[in-house]
Amino acid sequence: MSDRVATTFSTSPSAPVVAGPASGRFLITGQTQTGPSDEAVIVRSLAAYVAAFGARTGGTDMYDAAELAFRSGVSELVVARACGPNPVKATVSLDTGKIVVTAKDPGAYANGWTAAWDSTAHTLTIVAGSVTEVYEGTTAAALIAAAASSSRVTVTSSGTLPSSNVAATALASGTDDYANVVWATTLDLLTPDFGAGAVVIPGLPYSTVGQAIATHCSATKRHGLIAAAAGTSVSGLVTAAATARAYTDSDFLDLVGPWVVVSDGAGGTKTIDPTPFAAGLRARAHQGSPALSASIEEYAKQVAGVTPEYPVGATDWATLDAAHVSAIRVVGGYTRLYTYTMLAAMGGNLNIIGGQYRDLVNAITVAAEAVLESETGKPASSVRLAQIAGRLGALLTPYKGDGLHPLTGSDGREIDPGYRVEVSTGLAPADNHITATIGLRLVESIDFVDFTVAVGDASSAL
C-alpha cells in the first residue's frame, strides 16, 4: 500500500445490450403511464422504458410485456403509446394565465402535480410526484427560458408575472382518451422503417386486436403475435385459433398460449400475456438468422422463472399443434415455446406454416424493398438492371442452405441455389417502371422425427 497512490473501487455498469437485426425487434403498443403519443420510440432496457413511458401504474400490460421481453431475449423494444383521438395534457393557470404550466405529454399521470409562485424570490416550484423542480426568473421571458430545461412540463406566460404569491395549485384535466383508441391508427406509429419485427398489443385478446394486427403486419411484413384471454383452456385456444384463422391476412398471425406466470418482484406471482416470452425467444434466434427461428424452443433454456398458467401435457400439446397454436409448455424442466406456427400458411401450403418461414420471407422482403428503394430515380439501363439483380442475389446468398433449399440434379450438380432473381423493364419499357421478381424455395424444417430402433440377437444382421 502506498501513501502516494489514492485507490478507489467502483462497480462497472452492465454491458450494453448488443442489438440484433431489425427482424428480431419487438414492437408493442398499448396504454402507458406517460410518454409521447405521436411517435414510437426504441428502448433497450426496462430502465429506459420506465424513463420514457413511466412505471407499471397506468400501463400494467405494457410494463409487464417490456419486463418479460427483456428477460426473455429482446434487445430492442419499439414502443408506441396508445391514446385516443382527443388526448389532453394536464395543465394549470396561475393568476389568470400569467403563468401556465402544462405537462409535456397527455394523460392523467400529471393530474395532481402542483405549481406555486413566490413573488419575492421570483421562483416557480413544480412538484411532480417525488420530484421537485424550481425555476427562477424576474421576467416572464426569463422564467420561460429557465423552465425550458424541464423534461416534465412546459411553462408559458401571458407576458407578465404574478405580483403576489400563488399557492401550490394542482394540474388537472389530463387524459389519454384511451377508451376511444383506434388500434389501426395507433399501429401506424410503428412505421415500416423499424423493420420486420414481431408486433403485439399486450394484454388484449385476439378478438379485440387480432384483425388490426394482421392488417398492419401484412402491410409492413411483420410477424403478429396474438393471445386469447387469461385462463383460456386448451379447447378455448383451439376455438380461438379457428376464429382468428378466418381473419384477413391470418397468415401473418401467430396465436400463443396459454398465459404465463412470473414473479411479481414482491414475493408473489403475476399471470401475464405470453406473447413477450415468444418475442424474446424469437429475438434470440434472430441474433443468428431469421431462418434460425426454427430452433426457437432451444433458446428457452436460457430463460428462467416463466411457467405456463396450467400444465400442457403431450395430449394437450398435440391438440394445440393440430390447431396451429404456438403452445407454451414445460419439457425437460424448461418452459418452451414448443410449437412456433402461423395460424394460416403462406399460399395455403401447410408445409411452410412454421413461424420461421414467415420470419424469413418477411426479412428478405423488407431487405429487398430497401435495395429497390435505393435504386429509384436512376436510369433503367441494362447495366443498372444487372447491378440491381446482383444486389438482390447478394442479399439472398447467405440464406443458401440455411433457410433456402438449393436444387441439385441426379449427378449432384447444383441446378439453382434455392432462389431466383429477375429484373427487367417489364412489358412497357417506356413507362418508368421496372419489374423485379425473386423466387424462394424454403428449406425443410425438422419438426418431427420418425425414429426406429431395430433390435436383434447376437446372430442378427443390422
Q: What per-residue confidence (pLDDT) applies to 239?
A: 99
E strands, 339-406, are none
Q: Are 287 and 301 in contact (CB under 8 A)?
A: no
Burial of residue 433 (number of CB atoms within 10 Å: 0-12, 13-18, 19+): exposed
Nearest to 238 by CA among 145, 320, 302, 143: 320
Residues 6+ apart with CB under 8 A from 415: 406, 407, 408, 409
Eight-state DSSP code of residue 203 = T
Domain 22-83+180-352 top-level CATH class: alpha beta
Q: What per-residue confidence (pLDDT) applies to 304?
A: 87
Q: What per-residue confidence (pLDDT) applies to 10?
A: 36
d(CA 391, CA 292): 23
Nearest to 310 by CA among 259, 357, 262, 346: 259
Tell me the three state secondary structure of residue 7: coil
Tell me the three state secondary structure of residue 193: helix
d(CA 249, CA 213): 9
Tell me the CATH number for domain 91-170.
Answer: 2.60.40
d(CA 381, CA 378): 9
Q: What per-residue confidence (pLDDT) applies to 297?
A: 65
SS (H, E, C) 411-456: CCCEEECCEEEEEECCCCCCCCCCEEEEEECECCCCCCCCCCCCCC
Q: What per-residue confidence (pLDDT) applies to 227?
A: 99
Q: What per-residue confidence (pLDDT) applies to 286?
A: 86
Mean pLDDT, 10 residues at a time, the chain of 462 residues: 48 45 92 96 96 92 97 95 97 97 96 97 96 97 97 96 98 97 98 95 98 98 98 98 98 98 94 96 83 66 90 97 96 92 95 93 94 93 94 93 88 91 86 92 85 89 82
pTM summary value: 0.89
Burial of residue 258 (number of CB atoms within 10 Å: 0-12, 13-18, 19+): buried
d(CA 59, CA 45): 17
Nearest to 341 by CA among 229, 237, 417, 194: 237
How many CB atoms lie under 10 A from the CB of residue 383?
9
Domain boundaries defined on the chain: 22-83+180-352, 91-170, 377-462
Which run of H or E residues covers position 307? strand 307-308
- Rounded to 10 degrees, the C-alpha dihedral 107/110/116/117 comes to -50
DSSP labels, 88-133: B--EEEETTTTEEEEESS-SGGGTT-EEEEETTTTEEEEEETTEEE
